[in-house]
Amino acid sequence: MAIYKAPLDDIKYLTNEFLDTSPLSDITEFSDMTADLTDAIFDEASNLGEKLLFPLNRSGDEQGCQLNDGEVTTPDGFKEAYQEMSEGGWGSFTCHLEFGGQGLPHYIANSVDEMIISSNISFSIYMGLTIGAYNAIHKFGTEQLKQQYLPNMVTGKWSGTMCLTESHCGTDLGLIRSKAIPQDDGSYFISGSKIFISAGEHDLTENIIHLVLARTPGAPDGIKGISLFLVPKINPNKDGSLGTANNVSCSGIEHKMGIKASATCSMEFDNSRGYLIGELNKGMKAMFVMMNSARLHVGIQGLALAQASYSSAVDYAKERLQGRALTGVKQPTKPADPLIVHPDVRRMLMTMKAYTEGSRALSSWLSLQLDISHCATDQATRHQADELVSLLTPIIKAFLTDIGEIVTSLGIQIYGGHGYIRENGVEQYLRDARICQLYEGANGIQALDLVGRKLPSHMGRSLRHFFHPVADFLEHHQANKELAAFVQPLAKSFSRLQNATLMIAQKGLKNPDEAGAAASDYLRLFGLVAMGYMWAQMAEQAHPKEGIMSKNFYDSKIKTGLFFMDRILPQTGSLLSAIMAGSKSTMALDEAFF
C-alpha cells in the first residue's frame, strides 16, 4: 500500500541552513521567522498531511466529484477537512495581515504546500486557487472590492477561481468570446462559457469568487482587448451577507485521468454581474499575477507527487523480498533479500531521490527570490530578484512537472506488477502528475516562453542574474579538491548551457523555427544546470559536516549529489547535441506524410 512520509529533515535543512534569507532580515513581518517557529509550522503541517489529508487521497480518487442539478459534491471527508484546514489558517499563510492573513514568506508557505499536495493534490487545488485569486484582487482590485471580498477569501469562507479557457481556444486567449457589457452603476454584465475551470463549483465554501477574462464592446482584437472581471457566484450584500444568485452555473464536470477529487467544471455566465479588476483591456497583465504564482505552484505539485511516490517506493523496496543480492546473500534468515539490494532498483531509487531533493532545493531557492522581489528594502535587489523569478518560472513549472512524471513512473516500476494495480495506490500518483505538464500553460508553451520572451528580454539581462552567480561559484571553487566531483561536472554542463544559449540567440533571430525546435531541450538543459548548481551548493555546505543536521544527513546529501552529477547531469551533453542539430530534420517532412 502507498504511504506518505513528509520530508521534514530536508525541508528544515533548506529553510534553516541552505537558504540565505539575509535580504529579508530587516522586514518587520518576517523578523520572527526563527527555526523554532518554522520547525513547529512544518511539524504540524506534516501531521495534518499524514493524518488528515492522506487518508482521503485514495478514497477521493475512487469516489470523485458528483454533479447533480448544477451543484457539485466533493468526496466524503473533504468538506470537514477543508473546514479544519481553514480554521487553522493553512490557506492564508502569504495573505496580508490587514485582511486576516498571516503575512508569512513564500519560502515557508511553499514548503507547507508541498506537504499538503503530497498528501492529497486534489484537495490542495481548492485552497491554492483561492490564493491565486486573492493575489490578483489584492494587486489590481479597487479598495472597495478588496475590503468586500478578501477577508472572506482569507478565512476560507469564500473560495476563488481563474476562468480563462473557452472551448475553441486554450493557450491562445486572444480568441476568447466572452462578453462584458458595461452598466450605468460601473459594473458589467458578463456572458460566456468557460471550460476546464478547476474548483469552478463545489460544496466546500458558501460562495465562489470567479476571476473571468472577457471582452468589452469595441475592444481591440486579440490579446490587447481582454479585460479581467470579478464575478461572484452569489452577490454579497453591503453588510457582507449573501444576497441573490448571480446567474453563474456549472453545466458539466470533466471525467479525468487523475485529480478526480478536484472538480474541473464547464461554467456558464449569463448576464452575471461583474466588476473590473485592473485597467480596461489590460486583463492579461492582472491575470498573469495569478498565472505566474500558479506556475510556481504547479512546479511544486510535480515535486510533491514525486516525493509521495518516493516515500512509497522506498518503503516497498525495503520490505519486498525478491531474489538474492548479486554480491551474496544479505539476509540469510529470510527466503530472499529485499528489493533495495539490487543495483537497478538502487538506480531507480537514487534517481527519484536526486531529482526530488534537487527539485525541493530549487523551488525553495526560487520561492525565496520571490519574497526578495516583493519585500527587500533595496530597490535594486528587488528588481534583480524579480527578473530572476521571471526567467526561471517557466523552467520551474516545466522541468519540475516533467520530473514529477519521471519519478512517479519509476515508483510504479519499483513495485513491478503490483504498482500497476489500483489497490496499491502508487499508480494514482502518475495519473495525478500527468496534468501538471498540461495546465497553467503546457510545458511546450513554457519552453517557447523561455526562448521567445525571457532570453531576449532586456537584451538578455535576466540571464546574467543566473549566469553570473554560477560562474562566480565555479571560479571560487575551481581549486577545491573536496568539491571537484561537483564543480567539474557543473562547469561542463554550464558551458553547454552557454553554448546552447548562444546558438539560439544567433540562429533564432534569423529563423524562429530554430528557437522553437530547440526550446524544450533547452529548457531541460537549463533546468539540469540549475539543479546541478543547487547540488553543488549543498555539497559545499555538507562537506564540513558541521551544521544543524546530523552527520548521516550530510553524508546522504553528498552521496545523493554525487549520483546526480555522475548519472543525471551528463544528460546535458546529449541535449546540447540535439539543440545544435538545428530545426532542419524537425521541419523537413511535408505535413501530408505525417
Which of 528, 312, 318 has the alpha carbon at shortest distance from 410?
A: 312
Q: How confident is the model at residue 369 (pLDDT cuts 50, 70, 90)?
A: very high
Which of 290, 250, 218, 261 has the alpha carbon at shortest distance from 119?
A: 261
Which of 57, 154, 148 has the alpha carbon at shortest distance from 100?
A: 154
Give 336-353 pLDDT, tens digit per residue: 999 999 999 999 999 999
Give 151-201 pLDDT, tens digit per residue: 999 999 999 999 999 998 877 888 899 999 999 999 999 999 999 999 999
pLDDT for 222 equals 92
In the block, which residue shows the cell 514525486? 306
Q: Cα(557)–Cα(560) distance, rounded to whole angstroms?
A: 5
Q: Cα(78)–Cα(81) distance, rounded to whole angstroms?
A: 5
Question: pLDDT higher for 507 or 525?
Answer: 525
Cell numbers placing 81: 477537512
Contact between residue 161 and residue 128 where contact means Cβ atoms under 8 Å apart: no
pLDDT at residue 545 above 80? no
Across the chain, mean pLDDT equals 95
The residues assigned a catalytic role are 440
In the block, which residue shows the cell 452575471? 272
Contact between residue 131 and residue 95 where contact means Cβ atoms under 8 Å apart: yes
Q: Cα(191)–Cα(310) distance, rounded to whole angstroms?
A: 45
State percent of the chain over pLDDT 70. 100
- At residue 68, the 3 state secondary structure works out as strand
- At residue 271, the 3 state secondary structure works out as strand
**22 to 59, 280, 517, 546: CA distances (angstroms):** 44, 39, 41, 21
Question: pLDDT higher for 484 or 238?
Answer: 484
pLDDT for 285 equals 83
CB atoms under 10 Å from CB of 537, counted, come to 20
Q: Kindly tell me the sign of the dihedral angle through the C-alpha atoms of 310, 313, 319, 321.
A: negative
Give 117-162 pLDDT, tens digit per residue: 999 999 999 999 999 999 999 999 999 999 999 999 999 999 999 9
pLDDT for 27 equals 86
CA 289 to chain centre: 14
As a residue count, the chain comes to: 594
pLDDT at residue 585 above 90? yes
Q: How confident is the model at residue 552 (pLDDT cuts 50, 70, 90)?
A: very high
pLDDT at residue 31 above 80? no
Q: Cα(532)–Cα(561) distance, rounded to whole angstroms?
A: 8
Q: Cα(266)–Cα(57) distance, rounded to whole angstroms?
A: 24
Q: How confident is the model at residue 29 (pLDDT cuts 50, 70, 90)?
A: confident
Q: Cα(454)–Cα(447) distance, rounded to whole angstroms?
A: 10
Contact between residue 157 and residue 248 where contact means Cβ atoms under 8 Å apart: no
Burial of 462 per CB tally in 10 Å (0-12, 13-18, 19+): buried
Q: Minimum mean pLDDT among 317-326, 441-450, 507-516, 518-527: which range? A: 507-516
Give, rounded to a whole angstrom, the gap between the first and last alpha carbons of the chain: 43
Contact between residue 518 and residue 503 where contact means Cβ atoms under 8 Å apart: yes
Cell numbers placing 330: 544479505
Which of 161, 90, 74 has the alpha carbon at shortest distance from 123?
A: 74
Which of 164, 158, 133 has the alpha carbon at shortest distance from 267?
A: 164
**224 to 58, 173, 214, 291: CA distances (angstroms):** 44, 10, 11, 17
Alpha-helical regions (H) of 51-208: 57-63, 78-87, 106-119, 121-140, 143-155
Contacts of 213 (CB under 8 A, 6+ apart): 163, 164, 173, 176, 178, 226, 227, 228, 229, 283, 284, 287
CB atoms under 10 Å from CB of 273, counted, come to 20
Q: Output the CA angle 83-245-72, nearest 5 degrees.
A: 50
pLDDT for 1 equals 87
pLDDT at residue 421 above 90? yes
pLDDT at residue 234 above 90? yes
Contact between residue 577 and residue 503 where contact means Cβ atoms under 8 Å apart: no
pLDDT for 496 equals 98
